[in-house]
Amino acid sequence: MDAYDILRSEREEFESEAAEKAFADRISGKPRALISVAGYNPNLPEDDIKKELIDLFSSCGDVTRVIVPKDPDHSPNLDRRALVILFGDGAEEKALQLNGTDVGGWNALVKVESDEEDEEAARYRSSLINELMNDPKFWYGVSVRGYDTNLPVDEVETVLKEVFSDCGEITHVFVDTLDKLTNVYFSLQEGEARALALHGTNVGGFKLDISRVASVLSNRPLGNGEIGLGYTVPAHMIEFANKKDDEIEDKVMAFKKQRRLI
């Protein structure tokens, strides 16, 4: 995996793909450092904590991601450590020199984390991803285009729920404002079939374009987990990618910390 792929996997946002690629080129080949930080006030807004940490470590290298554990009351016996991912020559040494630094009323307690996840934590991460991948809530669904994309997200959701109300139980609706489509999921395959039959339905002067959504069932890999031509990542995995990555990082970090206390 090259630096560009690493950066994309860490879900950083840039003004353009060109800006993202330029940043990736800059960090290409440079060492990666995982720095954990404690001492901050976990009750501050997450964005404020991230800004303080980015400002603190920007002199050590290129900050590609900051992960702040959520729900400070969830694990009261564990120290609350944020994770800062840096790229740059000497980034670890520079970061360690900031241990004890006063950051607007709190002292940064800095440690270097291992870049190797232990086997149990890796299995835990895999199980969480597998749980989402195979969630039956996303087995059957349709992708809808052609509606009035100028409507607010909540109105699009309301309109389409009404259109598909007779198809069966709707388990989830996701309005993608970027790709101008909406994925609607059903609890049963019959719901999906009935929804597909509504292709071409006129809604407020707009003709709906309805197709089967890419799901675990409708879009299976080949045997032995191999990916065949035309395979598409299940739509709900793309939808939850950013959120799930952060959730997984939070849980794995807590899991590893708890193991140290046992």
Mean pLDDT value across residues 87-96: 90
In this prediction, residues 113-137 reach a mean pLDDT of: 70
Q: What is the per-residue pLDDT for 240? A: 78
Higher per-residue pLDDT: 166 or 113: 166
What is the band of 3 on the pLDDT scale with cuts at 50, 70, 90? very low
User: What pLDDT score does 237 carry?
Assistant: 83
Q: Is the per-residue pLDDT at 160 higher than 90? A: yes
31-115 sits in which CATH class? alpha beta
Q: Stretch 38-63: mean pLDDT, rounded? A: 89
Confidence of residue 20 (pLDDT cuts 50, 70, 90): low
Identify the band that residue 154 occupies on the pLDDT scale cut at 50, 70 and 90.
very high
Q: What is the mean pLDDT of residues 178-199?
A: 95
Predicted confidence band of residue 10 (pLDDT cuts 50, 70, 90): very low
Position 203 confidence tier, pLDDT thresholds 50, 70, 90: very high
CA dihedral sign of residues 11, 16, 19, 24: positive
- pTM of structure: 0.51
The CATH architecture one would assign to domain 140-214 is 2-Layer Sandwich (3.30)
Has residue 8 got a pLDDT over 60? no
* pLDDT, mean of residues 3-24: 50
What local confidence, expressed as pLDDT, does residue 130 receive? Answer: 79
Question: In terms of pLDDT, which residue wins out, 241 or 235?
Answer: 235
pLDDT at 246: 59
pLDDT the model gives residue 225: 52
Specify the domain boundaries for CATH 3.30.70.330 within the chain. Answer: 31-115, 140-214
12 pLDDT more than 60:
no
* Contact predicate 223/178, CB 8 Å: no
pLDDT, mean of residues 231-246: 72
Answer with the residue of higher pLDDT: 147 or 81. Answer: 147
